[in-house]
Amino acid sequence: MHGRTNPTAFRLMDACEHLLCDVATLEELTARRIAIAAHATPSAISYHFGSQEALIIAVAERVYRRLNAERLSLLHKAVARKAPNAPDLDEVIAAHVGPSIRWSLDPTSSYPVLSHVTSLAQRHRDVEHYRRIIDNVEHHRAFIPPLKRIAPWLDDVDIGWRLNCALGIRSQVTRSRSRTEILTNHAIDLDNADIVIARMVEVIAPMFRRQN
């Protein structure tokens, strides 16, 4: 695998990301389409990445880094806004789940890349290919210290468990829209990111509040 700082490698990643956002299924994505969009040859994919699948994984990692950078930026702003006191719980939770919600509802975002890679990982027999993406939780761990300041009666395990449950709620909303619509009698505007995030915060926040 050759350096991804190479201009051709960059063009291949950009082309692949653009096409992943445009295709309905991964079967529509071919090495030839990627190469044409990148003004390269199909063999350049193998030369720079080893395979088309490896290229897709590299693109997904890059997209995840952008999403996680946005998540952490919102967290840092929430912490700074209330310093030296503990940050606002609702704002921290919104920083955690909000970017994914906004990306999923923004037709100009690269969220389809993440959906395609999730689908690819689920049907791949060797999940090790996707460990760097699936098991990367460092950006979620960053939320533990501020949440411990908000809820000092919870330990790291308690907070980690609640964060994981929050992600489960987020995933159900982003990936099971039709079911959400049916269960809520179509009463919630699922196209409005602010409304969806506020509703999610309303459900998740009590997990971090002291029970009487």
Q: For all residues of the chain together, what is the average pLDDT?
A: 91
Task: Determine contact, residues 8/16, Cβ cutoff 8 Å.
Answer: no
φ and ψ of 122, to 5 deg: -65, -30
Q: What is the pTM of this model?
A: 0.87
Least confident of 111-115, 128-132, 174-178: 128-132
Q: Dihedral of the CA atoms 104, 185, 202, 101 (nearest 10)?
A: 0
pLDDT digits (tens, 9 = 90+) for 29-66: 999 999 999 999 999 999 999 999 899 999 999 999 99
pLDDT at 174: 86
Least confident of 18-32, 110-124, 183-197: 110-124
